[in-house]
A and B are shown apart, each in its own frame.
Chain A
Amino acid sequence: GQSLEQPSEVTAVEGAIVQINCTYQTSGFYGLSWYQQHDGGAPTFLSYNALDGLEETGRFSSFLSRSDSYGYLLLQELQMKDSASYFCAVRPGNTGKLIFGQGTTLQVKP
């Protein structure tokens, strides 16, 4: 089976940098994705790592290390609107389904 672990909550101040970690146990997967979900909203795609290393998209970066079964999402120059839940997800094998972690609630304070 597959399981992903994330911290349940993270708090940071506006303008700061925050890292949300994701550790996983899976026999194999096609890549690690990150999704953002505001309260009452739909999950929206943020980033995807197919290979080890860092992927950068504006203020957001994501990292994957398959040898360590570990990834993280890095959010820079935090803004109040970044307050949301963040989910890591893996696609196990050649199917379309995503397996999500339980999510990390990020609270950005002024």
Chain B
Amino acid sequence: GAGVSQTPSNKVTEKGKYVELRCDPISGHTALYWYRQSLGQGPEFLIYFQGTGAADDSGLPNDRFFAVRPEGSVSTLKIQRTERGDSAVYLCASSDRGSRDEQFFGPGTRLTVL
């Protein structure tokens, strides 16, 4: 079946602009996660949705970052007033909360802020 998909695959923007990154999870997965990965680092947790609600947003770095999942499937990560430090690969993952903690990752969106 189809895996997690993310669009766009690459996004180049200018400092101060607004961007939206989209994630389509695996059908039927109730849990959805956003992570951010910088070069040479492990994924860094941003936010976790269980259904439509954000169950844990403790990883969002500041109030410029916001994410929604209005119908419990597709999610959008929104970044306002982008800064050069926001440049990274933004990964989305979904899971069917079983005991093995397996999360299925999408290919990521590479965000470059000039």
A83 within 8 A of B: no
Query: Once the chains are docked, how many angstroms separate the CA of A4 from the CA of B16?
Result: 34
Q: Are A97 and B43 also in contact (CB < 8 A) when A30-B101, A41-B107, A45-B103 are?
A: no
Interface string of B82-111 (1 = CB under 8 A from A): 000000000101010101111111111000
Residue positions of A touching B, CB distance < 8 A = 30-31, 33, 41-45, 48, 50, 87, 89, 91, 95-103
Can you list 30 A-B pairs, Cβ within 8 angstroms, ordered by A?
A33-B101, A33-B102, A43-B93, A43-B105, A45-B104, A48-B100, A48-B101, A50-B99, A89-B42, A95-B55, A95-B56, A96-B33, A96-B48, A96-B95, A97-B33, A97-B45, A97-B56, A97-B58, A98-B45, A98-B101, A98-B103, A99-B45, A100-B43, A100-B44, A102-B40, A102-B41, A102-B42, A103-B40, A103-B41, A103-B42
